[in-house]
Chain A
Amino acid sequence: MTASIATNQTILVVGGGIAGMTAALEAAECGKQVILAEKTPTLGGRTSLLYRYFPKMCHPTCGLEINLKRLRGNPNVRVMTLTEVAAVSGTRGDYTVTLKIKPRYVNESCTACGDCGKAVSAEIANPANYGLDKIKAAYLPHGMAYPQRYVIDPSIAGTPDGEAAKAACKFGAVDLGMQEETVELKVGSVVWATGWRPYDAAKIQPYGYDRIPNVITSLEFERLADVRGPTGGKLLRPSDGKEAKNIAFIQCAGSRDENHLRHCSRICCMASLKQTQYVREACGDEGKSTVYYIDIRAIDRFEDFYANVYKDPTVSFVKSKVARIAVNEANGNPILHGVNTEGYQRYATEHDLVVLAVGMEPEVTGVKLPDDLVLDSSNFIEGSKSGGMFGAGSAASPLDVNRAVQSATAASLKAIQVIHKTASTEASAS
């Protein structure tokens, strides 16, 4: 890896989710040189772990496939996985970035044939299913992983399992001697598409996420519903593997709450409305979804989706912020306590499973970012003091996929403006 390829005409995009891929590809398809740095072993980000998108109920991997195809056809984007930004210095049009690259222990000779995975016995929690199941410690992150190369988990590097993986590879692709690398690059502009993470549900103590097995997050529910997930698309609840049919969705789990996230996370209402249709898909008329909400924020054309779900006889709505969750010890069912504010009725309602519509917080919360970046009170990136770094997608605001792509497309042009200005200034100076 040489640093000389990048210049002040290069755009660095940090984060390889839907927003980062979009920002990188839009600029690259304009003829710009882009480095796309992703901290995990694969592109795709959080959207690739969703089962379906609202409102069309289509699959995120479809968009991922097209973006990967655009990427394969475009020599302007250099993808760097397992890479994080350690430091940024300099100014608009002339940044120096320090990147840390973790070892994959698998080099470019990998053909994804899978022989190393077969040879290894150690297992790790599967990051593609939020740890709900296990995979071999030599693994392809998921079916659509890009680059399509295996990863050896650091836990088996230097163990007999690691050696077994190496021995099994016919192509000399396993390299257990790989070390963490640090590279420095010159870039003209930086797009931060570092995305979001679910708010730590355990912090919402009355909901008992850390105590009650049948209280899960909306992201875990995505994996349960997914045919490629740990249960093959069956809604099996964690406590006893029983099929959950009567499911509660609790909105604003962490969001719109000054004790947790002060902002509204925007996507959760639509996500829960969408997930009620997973229950319908899995259980038909026998399913029952109850949405506990403050306001249903099905904004603009999404109103249609809400109107359709509202008509679904298996779905009901309770205007209430659930006060606490107890457990029926006999059957493991969570019992929701609260007051229905429409008419002030107290309730204590039992469900098979509770899904917390957890809020979005910036993935970089708690991470040391360059001082140059300007953050809002929830740590979303508003921009930069030097004017050459931009937030994109849900790093900039809690956004759904469509709006994240829109935001990333805009960020891409902002970055191009910077490098064009740099180029014209240099041209007029010379």
Chain B
Amino acid sequence: MNTTSAPATPKHAAYICSGCGIGDTLDVAGLEKVAKTEGKMAVIKTHPFLCNAEGVQMIRDDIANDGVTHVCIAACSRRAKAEAFQFDGIALSRANLREGVIWVVAEGSDHDEVRQEMAEDYVRMGCAEVKKMTAPAGNVKETSSKKILVVGGGMSGMTAALAAADAGYEVVLVEKTGALGGFASNLYKRVPFNGPYAEPQPTGVEEMAAKVSGNGKIKVYLNSTVAETAGAPGRFAVKIAAESGSVTEELCGAVVQATGFTTYPLDKLPELGGGQANVVDQAGLEALAKAANGGAIKRADGKEVKSVVFVQCAGQRGTGGNGSGSHLEYCSGHCCATSIKQAMYFKGQNPDIDTVVMYSDLRVPGMGEDFYRSAQQKGVIFTKAKVTGVKGGDSCQVEFKDLILDEEVSTDADLVVLATGQVPNAGVNLDEWTATVTAAESGDEAAKGKKTELQKISVLNLNYRQGPDMPQFKYGFADSHFICFPYETRRTGIYAAGPTRRPMDMFQATEDAIGAAMKAIQAVENVEKGRAAHPRAWDLSFPKARLEGCTQCKRCTVECPFGAIDEDEKRFPLFNEERCRRCGTCMGACPVRVISFENYSCDTVGMQIKAVNVPDEFEEKPRILILACENDAYPALDMAGVQRMTYSAFVRAIPVRCLGSVNTIWITDALNSGYDGVMMMGCKKGDDYQCHFVKGSEMAYYRMSKIDDTLKQLGLEPERVQTHEIAITDNARVVKLINEYVEQLNEIGPSPMKGFG
């Protein structure tokens, strides 16, 4: 699998920087001695300004001429000068003497001893870590496919397909109906995408569909669905089933899921006249307008509409709009502008038609404001109102509370248009899937039937162990989460675009589709180079499992946030490297510690923990291990240093890829070696999670909730292990937490395990 060339004989080197006050504050000769006698480094050099060209060249020369393969830099934080200390093919560790020691330990000679001890420990740790590392070479895939699969042939799907094709990529587009165009092809006109934002515009759907059909790089499958998606980014084996029964297989590199939405069912809104005569939804009005084609808009009974009321937020926004609280909780974003557009259909044909829009908050952001103004100029009436009831019929009746005049009133209209919401087409809910599969496996017949039904609504039919579609968010939208990283999903190489992932208007959907196409292209390019995907795109490491030690407990397959691990025919975990995001949650999950990365493993961290010099109980110098998430908690610790805050010199901090990668062996090792306490610092979990790997920090909490038993077995107090949610801005808070914990441990007293390690 791996293409790493035969490793050279390892040669370890430590480079100590004495700049930035390190040499003034610490006994550098003492650090050198530690690197030599305990770190067993073959080369040890100190430089007054290691990060400058000369210092870096010294290291490069040693690599080139002296056969150095492993480098420990004892200088500033790994977050500083990262560009200077980059050496291809070399295993690298960083001992943080600046932000981690001299900038945070109180000044003055009273602290000289503990400061030096802290620095020496970090040198020990850096040496121990690098000896257990190998430089990842990456697993280059020469045969990977760069073809992009687009599922859904509406505006979003067509836009994504054209965007990828225009960038030179082959595209396979699968559309379940017999024509391209999707929801947009049912529209008479669309809201303007650019200035002057005054009139409804032609949809351009037919032109776009023709462009897609005529594009030599795009292969369109109509009347087709995805029957199976197997494999991983770069090698998705996609079975495309046509209505006729034929199945074609395409090898694709990445997927854009643009499966759109369905409108909220009108008949679920009887309180607003849904299902009654002359009460339509926005889609219904488009059909009438399309039939009229610029002429007078007529109702189903053929009567010309002379008065129309638009009811905004119909069955949306909980009780905030014109919902009763039992329909959609969210706002669909597009409906205000859509109603404005539709009101213009009437006014454009006959300015005398009574056109009223009843709204609670009119939501037309950006230049939509001009479109709103244009409607007001055309005489569309906007009434801030809460509609309490609609009765359909020859003359529809709308009862409402006028919120401006503060009175209950009613009005008649020939036609009522309900602005109902978008319901995402996102396939199978994986929680439901897992429960159904579990029940079916235990012999529940009903569950077996349900499983078949669920498979029918699946969009992607992934053969992943964790289920056939992308995980969903609240309200059933397809996965996509970060504010800063809106396209990241929990299925690597699969990106959702358009209203399947978030309610949106057509303009936003097209922009969204181009972005999703970009991410899909990036995914195939990264796979080809053997690199990870966001947020560790530079990462060439990937998890390896020593299967001979595996007990088939399945924790890694279940806990992987990205569904990267399947099972092979012998029920061993099967790692799909291209799906992996390198968070290490599998490594943290593994009870027998058989999973590791070349440069990050149970050993690289475990040996650091063991390298720390733990004083005996009589010295009254507690040792506290901090396992800090490198994304937020570790930067917060660094930042405390940058701001010259001070915290106890008794802590030893180790950055981890994610708290989810923390294996409990590290905790028990630390406690067994006489550490007095362990602080785990990770990102926020829960609905508003901030974990970059979505579930990593949550998994850590779950695992730590079970550590109390271990502590009891060791005869230790539960306070000796703490877990904290730390935000990146919590520099002052981490300092406080550390210092309070030191005091708390002083009260509890030294660990009884000291001396037994």
Cβ of A65 within 8 Å of any chain B Cβ, yes or no, is yes
Cα-based distance from A175 to B482 in the complex (angstroms) = 41
Query: Chain B residue with minimal CB distance to A28?
Result: B537
Cβ of B665 within 8 Å of any chain A Cβ, yes or no, is no
- Decide if B331 touches A300 in the complex (CB within 8 Å): yes
Cα-based distance from A299 to B362 in the complex (angstroms) = 10
Cβ of A3 within 8 Å of any chain B Cβ, yes or no, is no
B635 partner, pick from A65, A303, A403, A414, beta carbons under 8 A:
A65
- Decide if A413 touches B643 in the complex (CB within 8 Å): no
Within 8 A of A (CB), among B68-87: 76, 80-83
* Complex contacts, A407 vs chain B, CB 8 Å: 511, 515
Query: Chain A residue with minimal CB distance to B332?
Result: A300
- Decide if A301 touches B167 in the complex (CB within 8 Å): no
- Decide if B80 touches A148 in the complex (CB within 8 Å): yes
Q: How far is the CB of A189 from chain B (nearest CB, A)?
A: 12
Within 8 A of A (CB), among B257-298: none
Name the segment of B126-134, B181-189, B724-732 touching the other chain: B724-732
Name the segment of A51-59, A87-95, A125-133, A150-158 touching the other chain: A51-59
Cα-based distance from A237 to B477 in the complex (angstroms) = 42
Cβ of B108 within 8 Å of any chain A Cβ, yes or no, is no
Of listed B317, B365, B690, residue having the most chain A CB within 10 A: B365
Q: How far is the CB of B747 from chain A (nearest CB, A)?
A: 28
Cα-based distance from A148 to B81 in the complex (angstroms) = 8
Name the segment of A33-41, A106-114, A215-223 touching the other chain: A106-114
Name the segment of A204-212, A262-270, A363-371 touching the other chain: A262-270
Cα-based distance from A111 to B362 in the complex (angstroms) = 52
* Complex contacts, A69 vs chain B, CB 8 Å: 535
Cα-based distance from A236 to B378 in the complex (angstroms) = 48
* Complex contacts, A306 vs chain B, CB 8 Å: 320
Q: How far is the CB of A216 from chain B (nearest CB, A)?
A: 21
Q: Given A30-B522, A263-B367, A264-B366, do A63 and B163 touch, yes or no (CB 8 Å)?
A: no
- Decide if A62 touches B728 in the complex (CB within 8 Å): yes
- Decide if B80 touches A58 in the complex (CB within 8 Å): no
Q: Number of A residues contacting the other chain (C-beta, 8 Å)?
A: 85
Q: Given A111-B81, A113-B21, A378-B367, do A406 and B485 touch, yes or no (CB 8 Å)?
A: no
Q: Given A58-B688, A227-B732, A410-B511, do A31 and B525 touch, yes or no (CB 8 Å)?
A: yes
- Decide if B690 touches A406 in the complex (CB within 8 Å): no
- Decide if B727 touches A62 in the complex (CB within 8 Å): yes
Q: Given A266-B365, A301-B330, do A420 and B168 touch, yes or no (CB 8 Å)?
A: yes
B518 partner, pick from A61, A148, A170, A410, beta carbons under 8 A:
A410
Cα-based distance from A215 to B732 in the complex (angstroms) = 29
Cα-based distance from A377 to B361 in the complex (angstroms) = 25
Cα-based distance from A73 to B79 in the complex (angstroms) = 11
Number of A-B contacts (CB under 8 A): 238
Q: How far is the CB of A74 from chain B (nearest CB, A)?
A: 6
Q: How far is the CB of B313 from chain A (nearest CB, A)?
A: 9
Q: Number of B residues contacting the other chain (C-beta, 8 Å)?
A: 88
Cβ of B117 within 8 Å of any chain A Cβ, yes or no, is no
* Complex contacts, B534 vs chain A, CB 8 Å: 29, 70
B195 partner, pick from A26, A266, A377, beta carbons under 8 A:
A377
- Decide if A413 touches B521 in the complex (CB within 8 Å): yes
Q: Given A65-B635, A262-B370, do A382 and B194 touch, yes or no (CB 8 Å)?
A: yes
- Decide if B519 touches A409 in the complex (CB within 8 Å): yes
B52 partner, pick from A109, A266, A297, beta carbons under 8 A:
A109
Instruction: Provide the B208-223 mask, 1 if CB < 8 A to any CB of A, else 0.
Output: 0000000000000000
Cβ of A304 within 8 Å of any chain B Cβ, yes or no, is yes
B362 partner, pick from A74, A295, A298, A301, beta carbons under 8 A:
A295
Cα-based distance from A375 to B364 in the complex (angstroms) = 20
- Decide if A171 touches B49 in the complex (CB within 8 Å): yes
- Decide if A66 touches B81 in the complex (CB within 8 Å): no
6 smallest beta-carbon distances between A and B, as pairs: A63-B484, A73-B538, A409-B515, A410-B514, A266-B365, A413-B518
- Given A31-B525, A66-B692, 4 other A-B contacts at CB below 8 A? A26-B519, A56-B688, A264-B365, A300-B331
